[in-house]
Chain A
C-alpha cells in the first residue's frame, strides 16, 4: 500500500526527471549554438583566420568534383613548383562531414551554399559535443553531474575560441569525436558489451579522420588500462573494452591515408601495442589463477617467471634497439615538441614560431576556463569517493591534459572538456549536499515522506549491513555507478548507500549555511556565464580577415585583405604565381585563386626558408630567387599606417631565423643592432637594404611626411629610396597589403634602357637571359 504509492511516485518522478532532462539538453544545445553566433551578427557570415580557408577550398572542391576526385587530388596551385598531394596529407573528417551535410541538405532541396554550411558546422557540432559530455559524465557520476558538465562545456571560452561560427577548422568536429569516443569507451567499460566496443572503434575512426590529436586517445586509453591493471581493477570488462579497440582501431587508423602505416610504425602507437600484450598476459594469469589451486598457482608462477623474464628481456632489447636506431626514436617532430617543450625551439623553428604553440601564461588559464580552474580540484576529490574505473579515467584525463595544456596554448582546448566534466561533478555533488541539508531540516510535510523513505533505506541497509561490512568495496564499486542525482529515492545499493547513509548523517550542514552556500554557488555560475558571454562576444569572435576599430567618429572597418585578394583575382593572369610569407598562403589560394609558393601547411622547411631568404636579401638577390621560382607578384602585409601589429615586419625575425637555418649566409645578428630589432635610423644596413624593409616602407614617407611607423612607434630609418627590381602595383586602402610585381629582365645591362625595347644586335655579353645566376652558389 505505502510501497505501491511510493513506487508509483518514483515512476512519476523518473518520468518527470527524464522529460526535464530532455528539455534541459535541448536548451543546452540551443545555447551552445547561439553563443557562437556573435561573429555572424557583428560582422558577417564569413570564414575566419587562415586554416579554415584551406578547409573551405577543399570542401568546395569536394562538393564540385565528387569524392573520387577529392581522394586522388593533386593540388598544383600551392607549393609551386612542388605541389601538394591533398588526398594523402589532409585529415578528411571535417571536409567529408561538411560535404555530407551540404549534399544531404541539397538533395532535400534546401539550397544552402557551401560557405554557409562550412560557417555553421562548428556551432552545430559544439551542441553535439555538449550532449556527448552529458552522456560521458552521466556514465561517470550520474545525470545531474551530466547536465551540469554539459552546460559548462556549452559555454567554456577555450572551446568557443576554436569553434565560433566561421572557424571551420579540424577542432570543430574533433572535440565532439574525442568526447564521444571517451563516452563509448567508458560505456563499454561499465557494461562490458561488445556492441559498444564496436561503436567505440568506429568513433575512434571518426576521430582519426578528423584531427592529428587522435594520438592523445590512443595513448590515454592504454595508460588508463595500465592504471587499472596496476591498481588491481582488472576485470573482463576491461579486456572487452580495450582489446577489440586496439585491433579494430589500428586497422581503421591505417585506412586513413594521412596516417597510413604510421599506425603501426611510429612510437606514438607503441604504447597501445605494449599494453595490448600486457593485458593478454594479465588475462591469462587471472584465468590460470581461477582454474588452479593456490599451491599449484605458486608453482606455475615461479616456473613462468624464470622462463618468461628471459624471453621478455630479449624481446625488449630487440625493440629498444629498433627504436633507438631512428634519430627521433620513432616519434614525429610534433609529438616530440609536446613531450619536451624545448625541443621545437632548438630544432624546428617553424613549429616554435607559431603563436599557438607557445606555452600559455597564467592569466590565459583564467580567461579560457575561468571558474572551472578552481572547481577542478574539488571535482578530482569527488571522483575519489568512490573511485571507480570511470572516475579514475577522468582523473587521468585531466592530469594529462593539464600537462599538455601547459606546453602549448593550443592544447587548452583538450583541457576544456576534462575541466567541464570535473567541475560538473564537483558542482552537482556540492548541490546534492546542500539541498539534502535543506531538505532534512525543512519543517513540514516533506519530513514525513523523507522519514519513511529513510526508514526503508535504513531497514534494507541494516539487513545488508553485516554482509556489506565484511567484503570490501572492490566488487560493488565496479558496478555501474548510476546514482541519479534527482529528488527521488535511492535504490538500496549495497555498500555505497551505507556509506552515503552514514555520510548523510555527517554531512547535513546547518540550514542557513547551506542556503547561503547555494546562493553563492548560483552567483558563481552567474559570473561564469557573464564571463563566457563577454569572451565569446569580444575576444573570440573576430574573424581576423576583417578588422574593426572604434574611434571618435564611429566604427572603422578594415577590409584590406579581401580587397587585395579581389584585386589579385581580377587583375592578374590565372597562372601567375604569388609569393608571400606562408601565413597568407591558404587565403591567397582560396580567395584570390592564384598559385602560391608556400602556405600554412609548412610541410617543406627548405621551401619556406627559400622564401624567407628572399625576403631577407637585398633586392637583386631576392629578385633572382623569386625569378627562379617563376614568381610574378610579391605580397607583403604592412601595419605601420594603421597600427596593425601582426604584420610582416614584426614577423621578419622569424623569416631570418628560418631562412638562416637552411642558408647559412643569412645571419640573424646582421639584422640586429646590439641585440635589438630596430627599423629606425639606428638599424643595421643589412636590415635597411633587405627586401622586406623596402617593400614595406616604399613611399611610406608620402603618407605623413615623417614616415612614423605606428606599430614600432618610431620614424623609419631609410625614407627616400627607389625600387630597382620590383614595381608597386597595388596598395590597399589602409596600406595593409602591398602587392609588387617583379620587373622583367632588362634587355641591356649598361646604357640607356628606357627607350627602345627592340632587340639590338650589340647585346652585351653580360646579358643573363639564358644563363641565370644560381643564388645558391
Chain B
C-alpha cells in the first residue's frame, strides 16, 4: 500500500515534470519570477517573526508588494499563454502594457505606504 503510494507519487512527479517542461520558455521565465517574489515574501515573514513587526506599515507594504507582483505576473501569464482560448484575441503587447500599468499603480501605493 505504501509502496504503491510512493510509486504513484513518483509517477505523478514524473508526469508533472514532463508536462511542465513542454511549456514555452517565456512562460517559464514568468513562473520563475513568481516563485522568486513569493520566496521574497516568505523571507520577509520569517524576518518579522524573528525581529518583531514594528513598523507594521513597512512590513505590510513589503509583503504585499511581493505578493502583488506575483499575482500580476500570474495574470500576465494567463493572458499571454497561447493555450488559453479566452484570450486569443488579446495581443501580448497589450497584456504586457496592462501588466506594467498595474505594477506602476501598485508600486506607487507601496512607495507611499512604506514610510
Q: A and B bound?
A: yes
**Could you list which residues of chain A lie within 8 angstroms of chain B, going by C-beta atoms?**
192-195, 197-198, 201-202, 235-237, 239-240, 243-244, 247-248, 250-252, 254-255, 261, 264, 283, 288, 290-293, 296, 299-300, 303
User: What residues of chain B lie closer than 8 Å to A299, measured between beta carbons?
Assistant: 8-9, 11-12
Given the known A-B contacts A250-B64, A254-B113, are A194 and B12 also in contact in the complex, defined by CB atoms under 8 Å? no
User: Contact between A240 and B78 (Cβ–Cβ < 8 Å)?
Assistant: yes
Q: Using an 8 Å CB-CB cutoff, how does the interface string of B39-78 with A read, 1 for contact, 0 for none?
A: 0000000000000000011001100100110011011101
CA distance A248 to B83 in the complex (A): 28
Nearest CB of chain B from residue A199's CB, rounded to whole Å: 9
B32 CB–A CB distance under 8 Å: no
User: Contact between A194 and B113 (Cβ–Cβ < 8 Å)?
Assistant: no
User: What residues of chain B lie closer than 8 Å to A261, measured between beta carbons?
Assistant: 56-57, 60
> Could you list 13 examples of A-B contacts with CB < 8 Å?
A192-B79, A195-B98, A197-B75, A243-B74, A244-B72, A251-B68, A261-B56, A283-B74, A292-B12, A296-B11, A296-B16, A299-B8, A299-B11
User: Contact between B86 and A194 (Cβ–Cβ < 8 Å)?
Assistant: no
Nearest CB of chain B from residue A318's CB, rounded to whole Å: 13
Q: Which of A244, A252, A254 contacts B75 (CB 8 A)?
A: A244
15 extra interface residue pairs, beta carbon distance < 8 Å, beyond A239-B75, A248-B109: A194-B76, A195-B98, A195-B101, A197-B75, A236-B87, A247-B71, A250-B64, A254-B57, A254-B60, A261-B57, A292-B12, A292-B15, A299-B8, A300-B12, A303-B12
User: What residues of chain A lie closer than 8 Å to B72, measured between beta carbons?
Assistant: 194, 244
User: What residues of chain A lie closer than 8 Å to B86, measured between beta carbons?
Assistant: 192, 235-237
Segment 1-46 of B: residues with Cβ below 8 Å from A: 5, 8-9, 11-12, 15-16, 19-20
Given the known A-B contacts A194-B98, A240-B75, are A255 and B109 also in contact in the complex, defined by CB atoms under 8 Å? yes
User: Contact between B8 and A247 (Cβ–Cβ < 8 Å)?
Assistant: no
User: Contact between B106 and A247 (Cβ–Cβ < 8 Å)?
Assistant: yes
Q: Which of A202, A243, A300 contacts B71 (CB 8 A)?
A: A243
Mostly helix, strand, loop or mixed at chain A's interface? Answer: helix
User: What residues of chain A lie closer than 8 Å to B87, measured between beta carbons?
Assistant: 192, 236
User: What residues of chain A lie closer than 8 Å to B95, measured between beta carbons?
Assistant: 194
User: What residues of chain B lie closer than 8 Å to A197, measured between beta carbons?
Assistant: 75, 102
CA distance A288 to B12 in the complex (A): 11
User: Contact between A194 and B79 (Cβ–Cβ < 8 Å)?
Assistant: yes
CA distance A237 to B84 in the complex (A): 11
CA distance A254 to B56 in the complex (A): 11
User: Contact between B112 and A255 (Cβ–Cβ < 8 Å)?
Assistant: yes
User: What residues of chain B lie closer than 8 Å to A240, measured between beta carbons?
Assistant: 75, 78-79
**Could you list which residues of chain B lie within 8 angstroms of chain A, going by C-beta atoms?**
5, 8-9, 11-12, 15-16, 19-20, 56-57, 60-61, 64, 67-68, 71-72, 74-76, 78-79, 83-84, 86-87, 90, 95, 98-99, 101-102, 105-106, 109-110, 112-113
Nearest CB of chain A from residue B36's CB, rounded to whole Å: 17
User: What residues of chain B lie closer than 8 Å to A243, measured between beta carbons?
Assistant: 71, 74-75
User: Contact between A247 and B67 (Cβ–Cβ < 8 Å)?
Assistant: yes
Q: Which of A235, A247, A254, A293 contacts B68 (CB 8 A)?
A: A247
CA distance A514 to B32 in the complex (A): 62
Nearest CB of chain B from residue A287's CB, rounded to whole Å: 10
CA distance A195 to B11 in the complex (A): 41
Name the residue on A nearest B70 (C-beta).
A247
User: Contact between A236 and B98 (Cβ–Cβ < 8 Å)?
Assistant: no
User: Contact between A236 and B19 (Cβ–Cβ < 8 Å)?
Assistant: no
User: Contact between B19 and A292 (Cβ–Cβ < 8 Å)?
Assistant: yes
User: What residues of chain B lie closer than 8 Å to A292, measured between beta carbons?
Assistant: 12, 15-16, 19
User: What residues of chain B lie closer than 8 Å to A264, measured between beta carbons?
Assistant: 60
Ranked nearest first, the 10 interchain pairs of A and B with the lowest CB-CB distance are A194-B98, A247-B68, A291-B19, A236-B78, A243-B71, A299-B8, A198-B102, A195-B98, A296-B15, A240-B75
Name the residue on B nearest A202 (C-beta).
B105
Name the residue on B nearest A291 (C-beta).
B19
Nearest CB of chain B from residue A341's CB, rounded to whole Å: 34
CA distance A360 to B90 in the complex (A): 49
CA distance A659 to B59 in the complex (A): 42
Nearest CB of chain A from residue B112's CB, rounded to whole Å: 6
User: What residues of chain B lie closer than 8 Å to A293, measured between beta carbons?
Assistant: 15
User: What residues of chain B lie closer than 8 Å to A248, measured between beta carbons?
Assistant: 68, 102, 105-106, 109
CA distance A300 to B16 in the complex (A): 10
Nearest CB of chain A from residue B3's CB, rounded to whole Å: 14
User: What residues of chain B lie closer than 8 Å to A195, measured between beta carbons?
Assistant: 98, 101-102
CA distance A283 to B5 in the complex (A): 25
Nearest CB of chain B from residue A652's CB, rounded to whole Å: 45
CA distance A296 to B72 in the complex (A): 30
Name the residue on A nearest B20 (C-beta).
A291
User: What residues of chain B lie closer than 8 Å to A303, measured between beta carbons?
Assistant: 5, 8-9, 12
Nearest CB of chain B from residue A385's CB, rounded to whole Å: 23
User: Contact between B112 and A239 (Cβ–Cβ < 8 Å)?
Assistant: no
User: What residues of chain A lie closer than 8 Å to B102, measured between beta carbons?
Assistant: 194-195, 197-198, 244, 248
User: What residues of chain A lie closer than 8 Å to B98, measured between beta carbons?
Assistant: 193-195, 198
Nearest CB of chain A from residue B67's CB, rounded to whole Å: 6
User: What residues of chain B lie closer than 8 Å to A252, measured between beta carbons?
Assistant: 109
Give the residue among B5, B20, B98 with the most A Cβ atoms within 10 A.
B98
CA distance A79 to B71 in the complex (A): 45
Nearest CB of chain B from residue A245's CB, rounded to whole Å: 10
CA distance A248 to B61 in the complex (A): 10
User: Contact between B20 and A251 (Cβ–Cβ < 8 Å)?
Assistant: no
CA distance A219 to B23 in the complex (A): 37
User: What residues of chain A lie closer than 8 Å to B106, measured between beta carbons?
Assistant: 247-248, 251
Nearest CB of chain B from residue A207's CB, rounded to whole Å: 16
User: Contact between B16 and A288 (Cβ–Cβ < 8 Å)?
Assistant: yes
User: Contact between A239 and B78 (Cβ–Cβ < 8 Å)?
Assistant: yes
Nearest CB of chain A from residue B59's CB, rounded to whole Å: 10
User: What residues of chain B lie closer than 8 Å to A283, measured between beta carbons?
Assistant: 74
Nearest CB of chain B from residue A482's CB, rounded to whole Å: 15
User: What residues of chain A lie closer than 8 Å to B9, measured between beta carbons?
Assistant: 299, 303
User: What residues of chain A lie closer than 8 Å to B110, measured between beta carbons?
Assistant: 251
Given the known A-B contacts A194-B102, A288-B16, are A247 and B11 also in contact in the complex, defined by CB atoms under 8 Å? no
Given the known A-B contacts A236-B84, A251-B64, are A201 and B105 also in contact in the complex, defined by CB atoms under 8 Å? yes
Given the known A-B contacts A264-B60, A299-B11, are A251 and B113 also in contact in the complex, defined by CB atoms under 8 Å? yes
Q: Which of A192, A236, A255 contacts B113 (CB 8 A)?
A: A255
CA distance A16 to B19 in the complex (A): 53
Nearest CB of chain A from residue B83's CB, rounded to whole Å: 8
Name the residue on B nearest A288 (C-beta).
B16
CA distance A243 to B72 in the complex (A): 8
User: What residues of chain A lie closer than 8 Å to B60, measured between beta carbons?
Assistant: 251, 254, 261, 264
User: Contact between A194 and B74 (Cβ–Cβ < 8 Å)?
Assistant: no
User: What residues of chain A lie closer than 8 Å to B101, measured between beta carbons?
Assistant: 194-195, 198
Nearest CB of chain A from residue B102's CB, rounded to whole Å: 5
User: What residues of chain B lie closer than 8 Å to A198, measured between beta carbons?
Assistant: 98, 101-102, 105
CA distance A202 to B109 in the complex (A): 11
Given the known A-B contacts A251-B64, A251-B113, A255-B113, are A244 and B71 also in contact in the complex, defined by CB atoms under 8 Å? yes
CA distance A476 to B99 in the complex (A): 27
CA distance A303 to B87 in the complex (A): 32
Nearest CB of chain A from residue B74's CB, rounded to whole Å: 7
Nearest CB of chain A from residue B2's CB, rounded to whole Å: 12
Nearest CB of chain B from residue A202's CB, rounded to whole Å: 7
User: What residues of chain A lie closer than 8 Å to B78, measured between beta carbons?
Assistant: 236, 239-240
Give the residue among B76, B78, B83, B90 with the most A Cβ atoms within 10 A.
B78
Given the known A-B contacts A240-B78, A244-B102, A303-B8, are A251 and B15 also in contact in the complex, defined by CB atoms under 8 Å? no
CA distance A251 to B110 in the complex (A): 8
CA distance A194 to B75 in the complex (A): 8
CA distance A251 to B60 in the complex (A): 8
User: What residues of chain A lie closer than 8 Å to B8, measured between beta carbons?
Assistant: 299, 303
Give the residue among A251, A292, A296 with the most B Cβ atoms within 10 A.
A251
Name the residue on B nearest A247 (C-beta).
B68
Nearest CB of chain A from residue B91's CB, rounded to whole Å: 12
CA distance A237 to B78 in the complex (A): 9
CA distance A545 to B68 in the complex (A): 49
User: What residues of chain B lie closer than 8 Å to A288, measured between beta carbons?
Assistant: 16
